[in-house]
Structure 1
Amino acid sequence: MTRDAETPTARQQRVWDRNAPGYDKQIGFFERVWFTGGREWLGGRAHGRVLEVAVGTGRSLPHYRPGVVLTGIELSPAMLAIAQRRAADLGRPADLRQGDAERLPFADGTFDTVVCALSLCTIPHPAAAIAEMHRVLVPGGTLLLLDHIGSSWPPVRAAQWLLEQLTGRAAGEYFTRRQLPLVRAAGFDVEEAERHKAGTIERVHARKPAA
């Protein structure tokens, strides 16, 4: 398949396979200065049978509490291999497998918590991914999201828009998306929604209504 003919999902797999070796070094800086405390926030709220969508290189693994039963899905085999090594090094039992966030390979109502960190900005169809997260949660289950979003400050949002004219075409990464409306549209009840860093970072804690 030529690059012109590849699907958005295939492009994302290629991009993240290429970026996997340097990802931890690159994202580590941003997590210290921009996403500060975000993965700890996710891990402290996750419970029960947990699915992390787009687990990446497994950077959230150290922050889950003891006792959770962890499953992770990742599109990129190269990113997934790093996550599997990280889980082994941590002694963290986890079922980490390749898969597409927009077509989760799990039955309805499989998980108590679904987590997605810094990934809905690159998933080609975020509404489809959030709908899948809703499907695989039990009634009353918890959704936890962390991502960069369009700023609440217009000058910053304008700069984000300009930046994503490059990153959208090159790597399928977007800086002006807002996930909260998609969460509500998928049928979740939002319990917490926090914005940080001039409104460019959002943390969302939502719940699938009980049956």
Structure 2
Amino acid sequence: MNGPAQRKIAETPTARQRRVWDRSAPRYDKQIAFFERVQFAGGREWLGARARGRVLEVAIGTGRNLPHYPVDTTVTGVELSRAMLDIARRRAADLGRTVDLREGDAEELPFAAASFDTVVCALSLCSIPRPARAIDEMKRVLVPGGRLLLLDHIGSTWPPIYAAQWLLERLTIRSAGEHLTRRQLPLVRTAGFTIVEAERSKAGTVERVHAVKPA
């Protein structure tokens, strides 16, 4: 067997996600803008208001959080997709903001332990192949007492909505590796973080988490 079919058989979950996001990059900002207004309103501002010091954003995408970080923070971003990073670089330049942007995998962060005061991950753990591994990596690179800030869509608290999400993700997992019924909070607790804030909204389909690495 040769050609695209063979490549897909050999493709790892991480390689598939890179391919998916490279393909989606040119239209991502336009597509996500609607959901940010309707489903995730205020979420990026919420993250930015809690970020402190040396900030690492995991899966920074096209850099849509960059306008919301305090001016006295230093921001580093890591992203699997080179095409998404190119857009993030342009956004940082338009904002006049110096940002260290690197290509890398959330499950194998290219940073030393205890390198950051805050780690942010927005709308991405839903599609990272091994979210528990990614959260462990976020903990590793945080200083003791450092902040973990998450925003994501999760499985609804309303059974009919949850059932619809479960049915839809039979397609989204297969096509884009995106899970609609995951919930990150249990993984954060299992990783040993202390929960400071945890908020659910939109029939329980959106969650914001502010947690701290024990000192």
TM-score scaled to structure 2, two decimals? 0.97
The match for 1:119 is: 124
Q: CA deviation at 1:5?
A: 1.1
Aligned partner letter, 1:102:
E
The match for 2:3 is: none
Q: Which runs of 5+ in 1 are unaligned?
A: none
**Of residues 83, 90, 94 in structure 1, which corresponds to 2:88?**
83
**Of residues 55, 63, 67 in structure 2, which corresponds to 1:58?**
63
Q: Which runs of 5+ in 2 are unaligned?
A: 1-5
Q: Does 1:165 align with 2:205?
A: no
The match for 1:8 is: 13
For 2:63 and 2:17, the matched residues in 1 are separated by 18
Aligned partner letter, 2:49:
G
For 1:4 and 1:121, the matched residues in 2 are separated by 23
For 1:41 and 1:128, the matched residues in 2 are separated by 25
Q: Secondary structure at the match of 1:102?
A: coil
CA-atom RMSD in angstroms: 0.6
Q: Secondary structure at the match of 1:36?
A: coil
Aligned partner letter, 1:20:
A
Q: Does 1:37 align with 2:39?
A: no
Q: Secondary structure at the match of 2:172?
A: helix
1:65-88: CA deviations, max 9, x gaps? 111010000000000000000000
The match for 2:103 is: 98
1:131-165: CA deviations, max 9, x gaps? 00000000000000000000011110000000000
Q: Secondary structure at the match of 1:206?
A: strand
The match for 1:73 is: 78
Q: Does 1:141 align with 2:117?
A: no
For 1:196 and 1:179, the matched residues in 2 are separated by 15
For 1:27 and 1:173, the matched residues in 2 are separated by 14
Q: Secondary structure at the match of 2:10?
A: coil
Aligned partner letter, 1:126:
P
Q: Does 1:47 align with 2:38?
A: no
Q: Secondary structure at the match of 2:112?
A: coil
Equivalenced residue count is: 210
1:37-89: CA deviations, max 9, x gaps? 00000000000000000000000000001110100000000000000000000
Q: Which segments of structure 1 move beyond 6 Å, counting only runs of 4 or more?
A: none
For 1:170 and 1:31, the matched residues in 2 are separated by 22
The match for 2:31 is: 26
The match for 1:209 is: 214
